[in-house]
Structure 1
Amino acid sequence: MSYGRPAGLPHVDAKTPAVLVLAGPVTRDEVPGLCDDVRGLLEVSGAAVVVCDVGGLGPPGLGTVELLARLELAARRAGGRIRLRDPDPALHALLDLVGLRFQMEGQAEEREPPLGVEEEVEPGQPAV
């Protein structure tokens, strides 16, 4: 007996992040469909962020940069953002080089300070 994959986007509950897995070299013809997928995941899940697993994209290039920029634009137009999961260090460096900043999974958000050690100050002592 065989079971076919159901049509459409998978059901996502509020506790499960919406994840889009990007695999293999993505052609220019596939980009509009992936943008539609990001918008659909934001709408279906009600989440503000779609996690894009970029570990399987292969060696980074300007095509990858363009893809991620278009996905981010589609997400922002739909009222959300994308977050990258498992980016290659070379991709991270390339994104920095072209001036694109993406939130990476596992990093502190911009508005949250990273966790650190808090030192207690004795009363009457100046804070350092």
Structure 2
Amino acid sequence: MSWSPRHGLLTVDAITPAVLVLPGPVTRDEVPRLCADVRARLAATGGGVLVCDVAGLGQPGLATVDALARMELAARRMGGRIRLRGPAPPLRALLDLVGLRFELEGQSEEREPARGVEEAVEPGDPAV
């Protein structure tokens, strides 16, 4: 059997989010291209979540924070959002410092209980 690579964007099903890998330090010159990638991947998957793999970024700086903020804005304008995969503690601290909140891969959403956790009802608790 032979396999030939397809041209254009990858086709992904609705369950598997698209992944955008940031392999190294991000510069301000790359931000427009990254935002265009975010828009294209969300358009190809019909919106939803775009996973941004930031594990290989190295030492984060304000250019990284600016790029992530602009990418999140581009995703929100397309009706989607960005979920970070593998952020290092310095990047998480820097994002917290500037007040940017990103969903992290593996975290449960706000309205969902964590997996494997069941709420217990104590006898005598009032019904809600």
Q: TM-score range by the shorter chain?
A: 0.7 to 0.9
Structure 1: gaps (5+ residues): none
Q: Does the C-alpha gap of structure 1 residues 120 and 82 become closer, same or farther in structure 2, counting only changes over 3 Å?
A: same
**Number of paired residues?**
123
The answer as to whether partners of 1:17 and 1:47 remain within 8 angstroms in 2 is no
For residues 63 and 118 of structure 1, the distance between their equivalents in structure 2, rounded to whole angstroms, comes to 42
Which residue in the other structure is 1:78 paired with? Answer: 78
Match of 1:23 in 2: 23
State the alpha-carbon separation in 1 of the partners of residues 32 and 108 from structure 2.
Answer: 30
Q: Distance in 1 between the 2:5 and 2:38 partners?
A: 19
Structure 1 segment 1-128 matched on structure 2, within 5 A: 6-115=6-115, 116-122=117-123, 125-126=124-125
Q: Which amino acid aligns with 1:54?
A: V
Cα 1:57–1:5, aligned 2, differ >3 Å: closer, same or farther?
Answer: farther
* CA-CA distance at 1:117 after TM superposition: 4.3
Q: Is the 8 A contact 2:25 2:60 kept in 1?
A: no
Distance 1:110 1:119, change over 3 A: closer
**Structure 1: distance between partners of 2:12 and 2:125:** 51
Instruction: Give the conservation status (yes or no) of the 8 Å contact 2:41–2:50.
Output: yes
Bigger shift: 13-22 or 60-69? 13-22
Cα offset, 1:21, TM superposition: 0.6
Is the Cα contact below 8 Å between 1:18 and 1:47 reproduced in 2? no
Question: Mean alpha-carbon deviation: is it higher for 13-22 or for 69-78?
Answer: 13-22
Amino acid at match of 2:25: P
Instruction: Tell me the percent identity.
Output: 64
| Residue type at the aligned position of 1:32 | P
Helix, strand or coil: the match of 2:43? Answer: helix
The unaligned stretches of length 5 or more in structure 2 are none
Q: 1:60: how far off?
A: 1.0
Shift of 1:61: 1.1
